[in-house]
Amino acid sequence: MKTPACLLFLLFLVPLVGKGQEAVPDSISAINRSANRAALMSAVIPGLGQAYNKSYWKIPVLYAGAGALVYFIGDNNKEYQKYKEAYLFRLDGDSSTNDTEYSNLNDEDIKVRMDYYRRNRDLCYVLLGTVYVLNIIDAYVDAHLKNFDVSDNLSLSVRPVFVPITATGPVGGFSLRFQLKK
């Protein structure tokens, strides 16, 4: 019996939650616990970590993306199964099993289409797994950045500059200036 990949992932994720917080100050420790909790919640039920972080607008985006991928997985699998059945009917050598749906296609065309839909189905599975992992990462990072200072006392300015170099003349570039206002 095979163990689903998501269960294996959770088995490796759960021991990592809460590690390394013994020597950390209380405020940072609370942020880390909050981030770990959000990541674990999103791992168990996708979108729950976003709800925990009060980023409610991300949940419909997550489920719309996952729903679209599930739809395309089903659609590509249905087409793949139809072409696979037609291909197997042609190769079985039995005259009683005939492919009547794709009589205008030769064996190679059916195999190419079968491989196309199988590849697309498998790619959608990979993308669905990627959406799942990004959901967990987003919940974790969002929880860490909840208390990040984005006040007006911070500024970053980009300015063009010319650096005088005597051998070749002035050279153009950009200057980044980070300033903390009081």
> Is 103 within the bounds of a domain?
yes
> Is 156 within the bounds of a domain?
no
Distance CA 39, CA 53 (A): 10
What three-state secondary structure class fits 46? coil
Q: Which of 42-46, 156-160, 171-175 has the highest mean pLDDT?
A: 42-46
0.75 exceeded by pTM: no
Q: How far is CA 36 from CA 11, 23, 136, in A?
A: 15, 17, 10
Percent of the chain with pLDDT over 70: 78
Looking at the chain, list the stretches that DSSP marks H as alpha helix, in order from N- to C-terminal side: 5-13, 26-44, 48-52, 58-91, 107-144
Amino acid 138 reads: D
Structural domains of the chain, count: 1
> Is 68 within the bounds of a domain?
yes
Percent of the chain with pLDDT over 90: 47
> Is 174 within the bounds of a domain?
no
Q: How confident is the model at residue 17 (pLDDT cuts 50, 70, 90)?
A: very low
pLDDT for the residue numbered 15: 47
- Which residue segment(s) compose the domain that 36 sits in? 5-144
Q: Which of 2-6, 20-24, 161-165 has the highest mean pLDDT?
A: 161-165
